[in-house]
Amino acid sequence: MKVLVLGGAGYIGSHICKMLSHYSHKSVVVDNLSTGHRDAVRWSHFIEADILKPGALVRILQDEGPFDLIMHFCAKSLVGESVQKPALYYRNNVVGTLNLLDAMVETGHDKLVFSSTAAVFGMPEKDEIDEQHPRFPINPYGQSKKMIEDVLGDYHEAYGIKSVALRYFNACGADPEGDIGERHEPETHLIPNILKSATAGKTTLLKVFGDNYPTPDGTCIRDYIHVNDLASAHILAGEYLQTHAGAFAFNLGNGDGFSVFEVIKAAAKVIGQNIAYTIEAPRAGDPPVLVADSKKAGVVLGWQPDYTDIESIIATAWQWHQNEKF
């Protein structure tokens, strides 16, 4: 396949580009580098452009295409910021994606894998969330992703756009070969913050938000999925769209939950030292348990995660974190 990867300089996009190359697929990356890293684009042709400029998208699709598949990762993704700056999120995540979809229609491209999120579900009604769980997002970030999921259905009916929306739970880990990894500014994810606190010593204590949730150890339980498992799901989704028409959605997770304290304990074992932390007030809107039911992805796409234990996931992140290359 020849694949256009929008947001391919970011954390998940760059891992997918490496995996695409491994399987002899060609890729072109489009990124505005607002949060991505130019040095992470090593397996693709790179074009600096912005999805908020529809003319640029049309030109890229015409000049660089045709593409067998488009993967879309360009999104603002900080929940707290989305509450403070909703216009930024609706403009980038919704308007930007509409620009892309319209450019696809104009240039005759009809296959899209869309990066969605578990945030479309809002507060869960049960511990394990399948695709039929009601979608009631509680912040503009989740709402912006839900809006696009709905738009994809409409664009399929009206224009024949075929799509798969992949709803991530907690993406984590790094390339097992150590070439690329997770680097955000600011960093909000638990595992990289644990590793940063371990190397920073007492100058940067890890913050644990809440220890009185109705869980066995009082901390939130989450479903952690390795970034390479996400990458393989995207490729399988793209292959699925080559022979199936519709607007599909799949949840992606391990199906096992780990509490914050369990992740800290596992990280301490991996790096060989204790992790100091402070207990902070719980964050508003954090559900006690958030775990994916990913059976549908297994049945339909033939996808299964390779990284199923938290220590092996952390080990890949630790290897990269000690030797950050960009």
* Residues marked as catalytic: 141
Contact between residue 317 and residue 174 where contact means Cβ atoms under 8 Å apart: yes
| Closest among 194, 218, 190 to 288, alpha carbons compared | 218
Task: Answer left, alpha or beta for residue 33, where phi above 0 means left and psi between -120 and 50 means alpha.
Answer: left
Distances from the Cα of 104 to the Cα of 157, 161, 242, angstroms: 15, 8, 16
Interatomic CA distance for residues 167 and 161, integer angstroms: 19
| Closest among 158, 121, 150, 317 to 227, alpha carbons compared | 317
At 193, which amino acid appears?
N
Interatomic CA distance for residues 118 and 166, integer angstroms: 9
